[in-house]
Structure 1
Amino acid sequence: MTESNLVKRNIVIFGMGATGISVARYLSDIGADFSFADSRMAPANLSKVKGLYPRANITVGEFTDEILLDIDLIVVSPGISLSEPVLQTAHEKGIEIIGDLALFLTAASAPVVAITGSNGKSTVTTLLGEMAKASGLKTGVGGNLGVPMLDLLDSDCQLYILELSSFQLELMSDSLGAVVCLLNISPDHMDRYQSLESYSAAKQNIYLGASVTVSNRQDSLTAPPHSGATRHITFGFDKPMDGHFGIDTISEIDYLYAGSDQLISTQDIAMKGRHNIVNALAALALGSAIKLQNTLMLQTLRVFKGLPHRCESIATIDDVLYIDDSKGTNVGATLAAIEGFGSQSKKNILLIAGGQGKGQRFDDLRDAAGRFLKCGVLYGEDAHQIEKALNSVVSIYRAKSLDSAVVVAKQTAVAGDIVLLSPACASFDLFSGFEERGQCFQHAVLSNNGKLLDTSNRGASC
């Protein structure tokens, strides 16, 4: 899909969020005309779009088939489901439907690394970006994380590293030789997908047309299908074969390995938690695929502490450690956090969880909860669902807000405990996003204990 082809097309952009505006900016820069459609009556960016693109036709409100008149290309934002009736009609009419990823891959002149997974993709994307920058490469990092991918395009860029969501991958047909990675798969966005299989299929699209694939050998759902990739690299929490990445234990100390080559002790990695060791292995595997120097990658691992709200250590108060994992928006992420910080010798984690469950089943938390949790403190829209899944194996407290959940945890924890915010849910019942939720948690942790507010004890003391 060349620029010369795009300027001849009749294009409508579905969605006026950050992605939709980045698409408009790109199309405008190459001289292509376009219109906008958004299902909201008053999109937040409506005034901005009118100011930037006064000639563009704009349709707001419920999508109707009239939007499709004289249209031969739709660029759909990832937040809009392909099951929308108007998009089904467009498909039946033979109207081409793409996302911003197709535009980006065609336009990018530098190598592309694409990373997806249910959990850890933001950390691995950012970590690999830091490794590339330490290697002296002018690197564009974005996509589902931070900057929309089309806004990264720069003729001077030497490498692009993209985080991709399942929504962005639904329309993926060819990565055009990208180096790609699928970190893990666990149920997420079950309010959008009919089954784990359909969600997994969207994630697996990342392998289409890849030159190198990187996958998690301990998660069979990440295994690439037969493809034309020239190299397949795996990582895992076990001893690796030549050409792959893993862990081996020497004198009771775990070390990261590339094949038989010892790289670094887990004790020397700045990121904490077992799950972050796997993230480090994935980044090293990707770095090897794009030929980054080991010395510089390992140097980055020694200083990169992770991202805000991703298993971020906030404070130690009265010998109780408080961890902000507000980005833990699904069961898989929370499971990884619990197992990453859990102690084999005692149950010392007080889990704060709750929010919008997104159609998930919380039963997968039960085993880890029974092994590692001292108690659960639940709040938010779907707290009752989590309680139903866990109350047979761990004591549960209910709170009416995140603030009061922190108060309960503070009053219950003793020296040596860990208070872990890892909600296993989306935040939109009470917050604008996981960032605001994490900030609220941090403020509550660092404020005075205060009084117990709006809580009810649903179980024995932890």
Structure 2
Amino acid sequence: MKSLDGVSKVVVIGLGMTGLSVVNHLRRLPQSLDIKVIDTRAAPPGQDQLPAEVELCCGEWQRGWLLDADLVVASPGIALATPELAEAAAAGIEIIGDIELFARAVDKPVVGITGSNGKSTVTSLVGEMAREAGIDVGVGGNIGFAALDMLEQGHDLYVLELSSFQLETTSSLPLVAAVYLNLSEDHMDRYPGGLEQYSEAKMRIFKHADLALFNRDDLATKPATATQLASFGFDGEGYGLVWQDGKEWLAVDGDALMPVEEIALVGRHNVANSLAALALADAAGIERQAACRTLRRYTGLDHRCQMVANEHGVQWVNDSKATNLASTVAALSGLKLAGRLHLLVGGDGKGADFSALGDVLAPMDVRLYCFGRDGHLLCPLSPQAVLVETMQEAMMLAAECVQPGDMVLLSPACASLDQFANFMARGEAFAELAHELAPQVGGKH
């Protein structure tokens, strides 16, 4: 484990899983460090796991600690524009995040993924491809395991999901490949400079990347400079799509790899995610056959366009994570079915205007099942809409009329708290009932 040159006093801002991983990493270093933790919450999570010798200040900023530090390691949830951090920066104190600490310690290949949407799916997919190829891989960062905790496990490859918040405090991360998947408005409260400032943070992923991968269909993701460029998109270039034998295929430089219809993930956006994952896998030395095998079996993260049943030609897809309009629109974008879509929507709409969803549904062969507290607000979006009380009622109604080629999709565009503890509980209830209904329906028509 490498030392931190010239550092003796470190202040960690923010506890929780990330803060604890930072403290534990610092304590493993060969040098003796004075470590203190500040968390503005009165009772921060992880407080009971903090070593007794590490001082903790809760519920307020400890300005004296900050200005006396040689190094500040800040949680990604705390903006650098926060007055206390800005004062420390003005005093010449270096401020980094846990990913920068990881960058200074890692000695194995790393793949990095950022973007407004799809980060978790691509990160998990590349991790699964590596496992399929027999590689000891650590998958984490903005999802799953804290990056610094994974170092202790001694993996041969690391795959990191990286948020714009994490990238703001990262300057030396060596990556064998990095991808910027797409750009859309998010976290605008954090970026007064708007979309341009938000994108600048994400572009930092390419700073020390051997290969920079961008989206040809979203050129805002293309870096101005890079050691080596690659791209993915829905045309026939690079990692793209070609037509062969009457089917659409995933391809590399025009050479067909596998039919798009064999991808287990659901939705057109996941075709793009699959192309990005293939490119990253190639750059990381993951056997391409293993990557394609993974695409055929990997059904995705729980509650994100996750196929939970597929029997008698009817697909049952859990997208309970779609708790707002934009997520549901993304799930529907480019969706191609041989039959009809049975779309389950509703819950707590959080005051949203759902009218834009009507435009998306208009050209589709869809039956809309509206449930929950705000289900009545969604009914006017389609002439083929039915209003019920619960998601379970909606599923039972759909089961009565599905035919081979149809899809039953839970993509609610609403929060779940009116009827469920959280979106996970809603998704689990959908999956459980889908497993009961799927063997019984579709084949009888």
Query: Would the TM-score normalized by the shorter structure come out above 0.5?
Result: yes
**Equivalent position of 2:200 in the other structure:** 201
Gaps of 5+ in 1: 449-462
Q: Is the 8 A contact 1:15 1:38 kept in 2?
A: yes
**Equivalent position of 2:5 in the other structure:** 5
Counterparts of 1:91 and 1:397, CA distance in 2: 57
TM-score (norm 2): 0.83
TM-score (norm 1): 0.80
**Equivalent position of 2:442 in the other structure:** none
Q: Is the 8 A contact 1:41 1:61 kept in 2?
A: yes
Q: CA deviation at 1:363?
A: 7.1
Counterparts of 1:199 and 1:310, CA distance in 2: 24
Q: 1:2 to 1:265 in 2, by over 3 A?
A: same
**Equivalent position of 1:451 in the other structure:** none
Q: Does 1:115 align with 2:104?
A: no
Q: Is the 8 A contact 1:255 1:263 kept in 2?
A: yes
Deviations 1:213-239 (CA, angstroms, capped at 9, x unpaired)? 111100122112x22x32111111121
**Equivalent position of 2:274 in the other structure:** 280
Q: CA deviation at 1:333?
A: 3.9
Match 2:231 to one of 213, 234, 245: 234
Q: CA deviation at 1:105?
A: 0.8
Q: 1:265 to 1:364 in 2, by over 3 A?
A: same
**Equivalent position of 1:453 in the other structure:** none
Counterparts of 1:155 and 1:107, CA distance in 2: 13
Q: CA deviation at 1:281?
A: 0.8
Q: Is the 8 A contact 2:129 2:294 kept in 1?
A: yes
**Equivalent position of 1:296 in the other structure:** 290
Q: After alignment, is 320-329 or 207-216 more displaced?
A: 320-329
**Equivalent position of 2:241 in the other structure:** 247
Counterparts of 2:211 and 2:415, CA distance in 1: 33
Q: Does 1:420 align with 2:409?
A: yes
Q: Is the 8 A contact 2:371 2:394 kept in 1?
A: no
Q: Does 1:70 align with 2:68?
A: yes
Q: Is the 8 A contact 1:183 1:222 kept in 2?
A: yes
For residue 439 of structure 1, give the secondary structure of its aligned residue in structure 2.
Answer: helix
**Equivalent position of 2:441 in the other structure:** none
The aligned runs of 1:86-97 (5 Å cut-off) are 86-97=84-95
Match 1:341 to one of 322, 328, 335: 335
Q: How many equivalent pairs are there?
A: 430
Q: CA deviation at 1:443?
A: 4.8
Q: Percent identity?
A: 40
Match 1:166 to one of 164, 177, 180: 164
For residue 333 of structure 2, give the secondary structure of its aligned residue in structure 1.
Answer: helix
For residue 101 of structure 2, give the secondary structure of its aligned residue in structure 1.
Answer: helix
Letter in 1 for 2:163: S
Q: Give RMSD over aligned pairs.
A: 3.5
Letter in 1 for 2:77: G
Q: After alignment, is 209-218 or 429-438 more displaced?
A: 429-438
**Equivalent position of 2:36 in the other structure:** 35
Q: After alignment, is 150-159 or 23-32 more displaced?
A: 150-159
Letter in 1 for 2:253: G
Deviations 1:102-137 (CA, angstroms, capped at 9, x unpaired)? 000110001111011222222211221222233333
Q: Does 1:371 align with 2:363?
A: yes
Counterparts of 1:283 and 1:71, CA distance in 2: 40
Q: Does 1:217 align with 2:216?
A: yes
Q: Is the 8 A contact 2:140 2:161 kept in 1?
A: yes
Counterparts of 1:129 and 1:59, CA distance in 2: 37
Counterparts of 2:42 and 2:430, CA distance in 1: 33
For residue 155 of structure 2, give the secondary structure of its aligned residue in structure 1.
Answer: coil
For residue 178 of structure 2, give the secondary structure of its aligned residue in structure 1.
Answer: strand
For residue 36 of structure 1, give the secondary structure of its aligned residue in structure 2.
Answer: strand
Q: Is the 8 A contact 2:67 2:91 kept in 1?
A: no
Q: 1:431 to 1:112 in 2, by over 3 A?
A: farther
For residue 306 of structure 1, give the secondary structure of its aligned residue in structure 2.
Answer: coil
Counterparts of 1:328 and 1:43, CA distance in 2: 29
Letter in 2 for 1:22: S
Q: Is the 8 A contact 1:37 1:59 kept in 2?
A: yes
Q: Does 1:352 align with 2:352?
A: no
Q: CA deviation at 1:250?
A: 2.1
For residue 390 of structure 2, give the secondary structure of its aligned residue in structure 1.
Answer: helix
Q: After alignment, is 61-70 or 270-279 more displaced?
A: 61-70
Q: 1:424 to 1:57 in 2, by over 3 A?
A: farther
Q: 1:250 to 1:424 in 2, by over 3 A?
A: same
Deviations 1:217-265 (CA, angstroms, capped at 9, x unpaired)? 00122112x22x321111111211xxx1111112331111110211111
Q: CA deviation at 1:339?
A: 2.0
For residue 251 of structure 2, give the secondary structure of its aligned residue in structure 1.
Answer: strand
**Equivalent position of 2:49 in the other structure:** 48
Q: After alignment, is 112-121 or 420-429 more displaced?
A: 420-429
Q: 1:396 to 1:247 in 2, by over 3 A?
A: same
**Equivalent position of 1:17 in the other structure:** 16
Q: Is the 8 A contact 1:398 1:405 kept in 2?
A: no
The aligned runs of 1:148-159 (5 Å cut-off) are 148-154=146-152, 156-159=154-157
Q: 1:423 to 1:118 in 2, by over 3 A?
A: farther
Counterparts of 2:61 and 2:291, CA distance in 1: 48
Counterparts of 1:431 and 1:88, CA distance in 2: 41
Q: Is the 8 A contact 2:175 2:208 kept in 1?
A: yes
Q: Is the 8 A contact 1:350 1:409 kept in 2?
A: no
Counterparts of 1:311 and 1:363, CA distance in 2: 22
Gaps of 5+ in 2: 438-445
Q: 1:148 to 1:362 in 2, by over 3 A?
A: farther
Letter in 1 for 2:35: F
Q: 1:353 to 1:113 in 2, by over 3 A?
A: farther
Letter in 1 for 2:198: Y
Counterparts of 1:115 and 1:335, CA distance in 2: 23
Q: 1:307 to 1:177 in 2, by over 3 A?
A: closer
Letter in 2 for 1:407: E
